[in-house]
Amino acid sequence: MRTPNSVLGAHASPLQRAGRTLPFGDERHLLAHQWLVDEAWLLDAQAYEEWLDLLTEDIHYLMPVRVTTAAGAGYDTSPGMAHFDEDKYSLSRRVARFLTEHAWTEDPPSRLRHHLSNVRTFATGDDDHLIAESATLLFRSRGDVREGALVSAGREDLLRRTPDGWKLARRTIMADDAVIRMQNLAIFL
Amino acid sequence: MTEYSGVLADVRRGMIPAHIYNDPQVFELEKERVFGRAWIFVAHESEIPDAGDYVVRRVLQDSFIIARDEQGVVRAHFNMCLHRGMQVCRAEMGNASHFRCPYHGWSYRNDGRLTGLPFHQDAYGGEAGFRRKGQRLLPAPNLASYNGLIFISLDPAAEPLADYLGDFRFYLDYYTKQSVSGIQLHGPQRWRVKANWKIGAENFAGDMYHTPHTHTSVVEIGLFREPRAAKRKEGCTYWAHVGGGTTYKLPPGDLDERFRYVGYPQEMVDRMKQNLSADQLKVVGEDGFMISAATIYPNLSFVHNWPKVANTDQVLPFISIRQWQPISEDETEVLSWFAVDAEAPEEFKALSYKAYLMCFGSTGMFEQDDVENWVSLTSTAAGSMARRLLLNSRMGLLEDGTEVAPPLNPEQFHGPGLAHPGYSEFNQRALLARWADHIERPMAGTPRLEMGEAVEEPR
C-alpha cells in the first residue's frame, strides 16, 4: 500500500515495516491478529469509549479520498483531502457526540459488522512496535427496510506496546470506492 | 404543463406538495428544464492550475472534461469521442496534453481539437472524406467563471453568468475573494445519499430553524464557543437574485474584532479589508452579521463556520463548497470541497481543514445528522399519502401574507436583496419559486451537431 501524504499527520510516528511478513505461527502475528479481532468486536458493538482507550495519545487516523487516475499518474488519492485525518482530540469529539442523546444519525443505531481478513504482520525494527495490514468490509444496516451499505477498505496499522497493553498509534484506511456508497461515515473502520 | 400548474401554484404560495421530493415525473422535468437551462458549477480554477491539468465532472449524466489548455485557457468539452461515442477520458483528474480514445485511437488536444485520426487517408480518403481540420470535441454550450468558480450551462441561449448570479456576487465574495489570490479548493469528497437533491439546496439556503434541534449534539460536545444553538435566531437570512443564505449575529465590536472573533488572524483581516467593498465590510463591522450557509440556485451550496479544533477556547473558520448532484429523484451524489484563501498562513490552512473535516463532508458531525433527516424525508415522500399532503413552508408569514417581522432596512443590513431577522422560510420559498419558473417553461429545440460537419474553430 502506497502511503499517501496527509495534511495533519506530521505528529505521527514515522516507523515503517522491516522485512517480510511474519509467519502466521509467530507470536507477534497472533498477538496483532487477536488485537484486530477484539477491536472489530468493539466497533461492531459501538463500544466507542473502550475503543478510544485503545488509541495512543499521538494517534493519527487517516482515510484518504481515493481518486481514479490514469495508470502511471503516480497517485490515486486526492491531494490535500481525506475523509478522516484525525488526532485524539477530534476522535474524542466524534465519540463524545455518539454518547449524547442527540446524535440522530445513530438513533436508532445502525447494525454493524466489520468483516476482517487478510491479516499480515510485520516487524518494524523496534520491538515495541508492529505493523499489521488487513482488509475490512463493513456492512451497515439502518432502519428496517433500507438496503444495507458496504465500505470495503485495506488498512495499515502501527501497534505500540504500552504499560496498558498494545495500542493503535497510526492507521491508514484505503477505501476501495472513489465515491462512498454510504450516507455518511458516522462509523469507524 | 396543465397537470403541474396546480403543483406550481401551491409551491409559489409556500405550500409544498410533498411528492416533489421523490417523484420520477418531476425529476424528468427537472433534468430538462432546470439542469438543461441553469448555470451549473463544475470546478474551480485552482483545481487545474497548470497547462494540461484537467478534472472530469458531470452535469447529471453528461460527462465533461474541464481542462486548462497549453495557452492557459479553461475549456469544457463533452467527454465523448466524435467517432463512436466512447468516453475519451476515463480518469477523474490528471494532466495531459492529449486525450486518446481507447477504441479506435482518435486523439484530441487538451483544447478539444481533433489531431489524430488513424488511417485517415486509407479509411476515409483523407480530408475529402472526413474533414479533420476544425473538428473538436463537443464544447459545453456555455462556459464562464466568477472568482475562479467555473460554471457551464447546457443552454446555448443562457444569459451571461454575471447576470445570472446578479447581486448574489456580493455574498459569493465573502467565500471566494478574501484576497486577490482568491481561494484554493481541495477535494471533493464524494458520496451518495438516498435523498432528493432539492432538500440540501433548500436547507443551506435558509434553514436556521433546524440548527438548534438537528445539531444539538455538536453544541453539547463543546465544539462551539456559543453555548446554545438557539443563538441562531439572532442571525438573519438574506435572498439576492439567484441565491440566499444565513448569518450569525456577532457580539459587539469593530470590524477587526468581529473577524478575529470567528478566528481570522489579523493579516487575513487586513487582506479582506483591501479586497471587500465598503458595503461588504459594513455587513460585518457595522451590522454585525457573519455569513454562514448559502445556496445558489439550483444546486451549489456554501458553508462558513468556526468550531474549536483543539481542547482550547480558540475557534477557527472554515469554508466548504458543495454540490447536490442529482442521480435520480431519490438519490444525490454530494461533492464537498474544502476551500481556503490561497494567501492564508499555512498553519491556518491546516487547522481550517481540520475544522472542515470535523464539521462537514462525508465524516462531518453536522452533515451526519442532516443526511439522516433528508434520507428519511425522501423515502417518506414516495407514496400516495405524500401526494395528499401539502407541507407548510410559510414560516415568516401570517395567513394573510403579512410578515411576522419586517425586513431589515438598509441601515440595519448593508447587503443587496432582502434580509429578514430570525427564523423564516423566505429563502426556501424564493429558491422553489425559481424552480417553479423553470419547470413551467418548456425548452426551445436543442441544436444538433453532425459529426464531420464543419464547426467553428475554438476562439
Domain-embedded: residue A117: yes
Closest approach of chain A CAs to the CA of B61, in angstroms? 15
Q: Is residue A131 part of a domain?
A: yes
Nearest CB to A179: which of B186, B333, B367? Answer: B333
Across the interface, of A68, A80, A182, the residue whose CB is closest to B91 is: A68
A78 at interface of B, judged by CB pairs closer than 8 A: yes
Chain B residues with CB inside 8 Å of A90's CB?
309, 354, 357-358
How confident is the model over A92-102, as a mean pLDDT? 92
Render pLDDT for B161-206 as a digit per residue (tens, 0 to 9). Answer: 999 999 999 999 999 999 999 999 999 999 999 999 999 999 999 9
Instruction: Please give the pLDDT value at position A1.
Output: 46
The predicted structure's pLDDT at residue B445? 76
pLDDT greater than 60 at residue A2 = no
Residue A79: inside a domain? yes
- Would you say residue A16 lies in a domain? no
**Residues B379, A146: C-beta atoms closer than 8 Å:** yes
Asked whether residue A161 is domain-assigned, the answer is yes
Higher local confidence (pLDDT), B209 or A86: A86
Which pTM does this prediction carry? 0.96
> How many A×B Cβ pairs under 8 Å?
130
Report the residue of chain B nearest A66, measured CA to CA.
B189
Q: In the structure, what pLDDT confidence band is assigned to residue B151 with cuts at 50, 70 and 90? A: very high
Q: Is residue A90 part of a domain?
A: yes
pLDDT digits (tens, 9 = 90+) for B29-67: 999 999 999 999 999 999 999 999 999 999 999 999 999
Question: Three-state SS across chain A?
Answer: CCCCCCCCCCCCCCCCCECCCCCCCCHHHHHHHHHHHHHHHHHHCCCHHHHHHCEEEEEEEEEEEECCCCCCCCCCEEEEEEEEEECHHHHHHHHHHHHCCCCHHHCCCCEEEEEEEEEEEEECCCCCEEEEEEEEEEEEECCCCCCCEEEEEEEEEEEEEECCEEEEEEEEEEECCCCECCCCCCCCC
How many domains does chain A contain in total?
1
Q: At B72, phi and psi to the nearest 5?
A: 90, 5
CA B297 centroid distance within chain: 8
Interface mutation target, options A179, A187, A188, chain B, most CBs of B under 10 Å: A179
Residue A171's CATH number: 3.10.450.50
Q: Is the pLDDT of residue A138 over 80?
A: yes
Record: contact B365-A73, CB cut-off 8 A = no
What residues of B are in contact with residue A84 (Cβ under 8 Å)? 357, 363
Report the chain B residue with the minimal C-alpha distance to residue A70. B91
Note whether A79 contacts B92, CB cutoff 8 Å: no
> What's the pLDDT tens digit per position in B390-409?
999 999 999 999 999 999 99
B349 against B223, higher pLDDT: B349
Whole-number pLDDT of residue B217? 86
For residue A15, tell me if it sits in a domain: no
A7: which chain B residues are within 8 Å (Cβ-Cβ)? 350, 353
3-state secondary structure of B330: coil
- Using a CB-CB distance cutoff of 8 angstroms, which residues of chain A are in contact with residue B359? none
Four-residue CA torsion sign, B77, B78, B80, B82: negative
Residue B287 scores a pLDDT above 90: yes
Restricting to A residues 102-131, those with a Cβ less than 8 Å away from any Cβ of B are: 102-105
pLDDT tens-place string over residues B9-26: 999 999 999 999 999 999
pLDDT band at B449 (very low <50, low <70, confident <90, very high): confident
Does A180 lie at the interface with B, CB-CB under 8 angstroms? Answer: yes
A137 touching chain B per CB within 8 A: no
Domains of chain B: 41-145 (2.102.10.10), 166-440 (3.90.380.10)
- Tell me the residue range of the domain where A96 lies: 27-175
Chain B residue at shortest CA distance from A72: B94
Taking the Cβ of residue A57 and every Cβ of chain B, the question of whether any pair is shorter than 8 Å is answered with no
Q: Which three cell numbers stand for residue B275?
A: 479586497
Please check whether residue A69 touches B, CB under 8 A.
yes
pLDDT in tens, B361-390: 999 998 888 888 999 999 999 999 999 999
B303 to chain A nearest CA, in Å? 17
For the segment A54-79, the average pLDDT, to the nearest whole number, is: 96
Residue A22 lies in a domain: no
Residues of B within 8 A of A72 (CB-CB) are none
Q: Which residue of A has its CA nearest to B355?
A: A90
Inter-chain residue contact B187 with A81, CB threshold 8 Å = yes
Q: Angle B434-B438-B443 (CA atoms, 0-180°, nearest 5)?
A: 160
Would you call A95 an interface residue with chain B, using a CB distance cutoff of 8 Å? no
Mean pLDDT of B254-273: 98
Look up the ipTM and state it.
0.96
